[in-house]
Amino acid sequence: MNQTIPIKKILRRASLPGGFRFWTTLLTLIFIGKSISSNFYNLQDFSISKYEFISLTFAFFLTCISILFNAFAWRSLLFWLGYNLEKVELINLYFTTNLLKYIPGGIWHLVQRFRTLRKYISQSKAITAVIIEPLLMVVAALLFIPFGGWQFGFACFCFLPALIFIPRFCEPILMILQASKAKQFMKSLPTVNSPILREKIISINKPYPLKPLLVEMLFVLFRFSGFWFCMKAFLINDLLSFGQWLACFAFAWTIGLIIPGAPGGLGVFESAVLLRIGNSVPEASLLAGLLCYRLVVTLADLAMLVPTFAKQK
């Protein structure tokens, strides 16, 4: 008698040992390591002069401002959803949890936000509150890709994700993401109960979230400005047009956000930039700019904690 094998078992058997995240991280880090190794002697020749230091300082402050815009965009999005969160200091919550994205697993910043928000709203709403932000970030970033030109028609498709926030599309997508994240959260937090998987997403019958999207676009623009000043520090900013740099950054940043890899998108973002424009600019200078940008972003994440801790004292 023939027995059917469940699809889940087939997928489990076909899955890579260690998981997709592990192999993505490993391959991207190998790629970055190989690029650094082949340009090692050229990288040694770089030094930080007064000009480079000023450019990197601008990059740092612009990146700090971008984090502030990201926090305000998240708060604006939760107000758009109609959640009663006046008692929660959402900006401080965003800053204090932002560094947790660097912890292996890549979900701990979301877990901590969920843990805090569920004290004030239902578990279902709390999960929606943390999973809807990455959707807004992706939509905002993709809208900048057309600034790089036609790109064989790819630019046209970058407007399609903006349809996600139309109610008829938003609710089904949120239901899928809710089920996925709920299972992850149940593994991390024993107090998350399984009935959450059956809870209905709040009905979204609101105008398009234009204000949160515009604020999120400001986040992407300031984030890119920090990246651009890192490229300027190594004198390669003029080798591509401003629009090409913006499109490259938006594409690579989106890839780093949606593809599971090292925490904070480490390796995935850098690999995407190298693959996209590595043949158009000197690779050693591009690598130096990317390494500095990664340092700038990490320092900015740390710096944004200072006002929060100062306020608590």
Average pLDDT on 269-281 reads 91
pLDDT tens profile 84-126? 888 899 999 999 999 888 887 778 888 899 999 989 988 888 8
Cα 144 from Cα 161, distance rounded (Å): 12
Helix (H) or strand (E) holding 204: none
Residue 265 lies in a domain: yes
Residue 45 lies in a domain: no
Residue 146 lies in a domain: yes
Residue 81 lies in a domain: yes
158 φ/ψ angles, rounded to the nearest 5 degrees: -70, -15
pLDDT band per the 50, 70, 90 thresholds, residue 207: confident
More confident call, 28 vs 222: 222
Residue 11 has pLDDT above 50, yes or no: no
Q: By the 8 A CB rule, do 111 and 104 touch?
A: no
Residue 158 lies in a domain: yes
Domain with 83, as residue range(s), is 50-312
More confident call, 67 vs 10: 67
Residue in this structure with the two tokens 């801790």, named with its chain if needed: 309
Residue 24 lies in a domain: no
pLDDT tens profile 44-77? 777 778 888 999 999 999 999 999 999 999 999 9
Residue 105 lies in a domain: yes
Residue 30 lies in a domain: no
Cα 292 from Cα 287, distance rounded (Å): 9
pLDDT tens profile 232-253? 999 999 999 999 999 999 999 9
Lookup: tokens for 304: 């944004």
Q: For residue 253, is it left (φ>0), alpha (ψ between -120 and 50) or beta? A: alpha
Total domain count for the chain?
A: 1
The H-assigned helical ranges of 238-304 are 242-258, 268-277, 283-303
